[in-house]
Amino acid sequence: MTPQLQVENLGTWFYTRHGIVKAVDGVDFHVAAGETLAIVGESGCGKSMTALSLMRLIPDPPGRIVSGAVKLGGRDLLKISEEEMRKVRGNEISMIFQEPMTSLNPVMTIGKQIAEALILHRDMNRQQALKRAVEMLDLVRIPEPAQRAREYPHQLSGGMRQRAMIAMALACNPKVLVADEPTTALDVTIQAQILDLIVELQREFKAAVILITHDLGVVAETAHRVIVMYAGRKVEEAAVGPLFAKPLHPYTAGLMKSIPRLELMRGEERRQTERLQEIPGIVPPLFALPAGCAFAPRCPKADDLCRRERPTYEEKQSGHWAACWHTDG
């Protein structure tokens, strides 16, 4: 499989009064058509900033993409002009956001908001675009799509709104879909439906999906491959099977302990998992990272080496990478 999207050495820094914050610090990954890559980590680990960097939607100032390449269809998205980038957004690469309530324009009807992308990228006139918007709403299984297209976001339930967001993101049949915590703001019962919908539509549209989440349960259900991020860097990467079978990085292991195993395997009727509280401590402020391994202060296995030197990121087993000095023990 040739990768649809190839990201190399991506670096996104924020310039704050406390100093430089390396929100994304030299991250590489790739994702193929029809594949789902999950990027996992606690809040503040840089996963959302990675997503926004792909779209070139980092607020500047204070943020800047300082290095790297984002290759899509033979082009480096970081090199093209802003005007060309606009033709890419919503067309070749599109995004679903966490909060369907605040991410939809409150004074614009659902139909118009979906039609907007079509008018911009598909040369449709208003009527054609609105008609297609209704079809998209039908596709994401919203009942009475013609009626819903005329309604405003506040008139829809949370789940409906997220379906509408998905319809909006897929309207132009993008090559890459970035879903940033698409189910976090939703009720547990709705979460599974939305995930099923994303998986199903991915098959239909053959899109490459980058799923950003803090919830390993979601990962187990939907992803093919997983990247675990901590403090702006990758700490582990593997296919879903091997990762869940034997996590190599203590951070990943810690994340996993925070979900009940049994329910994870069944994948259904999962209770809302708590926000990964079983790892002691918090993500350190990114402007004050320790010299060695960023996870060392919270790590049960940490020793002097960890605190002194940053572990190299290497392939520990075939297709299974990690950055830790103690993967053997």
What does the binding site for another protein look like in residue numbers (CB under 8 A)? Answer: 15-20, 55, 57, 61-62, 64-67, 78-79, 86-91, 94-95, 97, 99, 102-108, 116-117, 120-121, 152, 154-155, 165, 168
- Distance of closest approach, residue 22 Cβ to another protein, in angstroms: 11
User: Of the two residues 134 and 238, which places its CB atom closer to another protein in the complex?
Assistant: 134
User: Of the two residues 162 and 327, which places its CB atom closer to another protein in the complex?
Assistant: 162
Alpha carbons 141 and 164: distance in angstroms, whole number: 10
- Distance of closest approach, residue 214 Cβ to another protein, in angstroms: 18
- Distance of closest approach, residue 64 Cβ to another protein, in angstroms: 6
Q: Which two tokens stand for residue 56?
A: 């070139």
User: Of the two residues 57 and 245, which places its CB atom closer to another protein in the complex?
Assistant: 57
User: Of the two residues 89 and 298, which places its CB atom closer to another protein in the complex?
Assistant: 89
Nearest alpha-carbon partner for 93 in 6, 195, 153, 14: 6
- Distance of closest approach, residue 263 Cβ to another protein, in angstroms: 31
- Distance of closest approach, residue 60 Cβ to another protein, in angstroms: 10
Alpha carbons 320 and 230: distance in angstroms, whole number: 17
- Distance of closest approach, residue 94 Cβ to another protein, in angstroms: 6
User: Of the two residues 57 and 188, which places its CB atom closer to another protein in the complex?
Assistant: 57
User: Of the two residues 169 and 229, which places its CB atom closer to another protein in the complex?
Assistant: 169
- Distance of closest approach, residue 297 Cβ to another protein, in angstroms: 24
Placement of tokens 């309207």 in the chain: 171
Q: How far is CA 158 from CA 291, 295, 314, in A?
A: 43, 36, 42
b/e map of 157-174 (b: 16 or more CB within 10 Å)?
Answer: eebbbbbbbbbbbbbbeb
Residue 96 C-alpha from the chain's centroid: 9
**CB neighbours of residue 244 within 10 Å:** 18
What does the longest C-alpha to C-alpha distance in the chain come to?
66
User: Of the two residues 22 and 298, which places its CB atom closer to another protein in the complex?
Assistant: 22
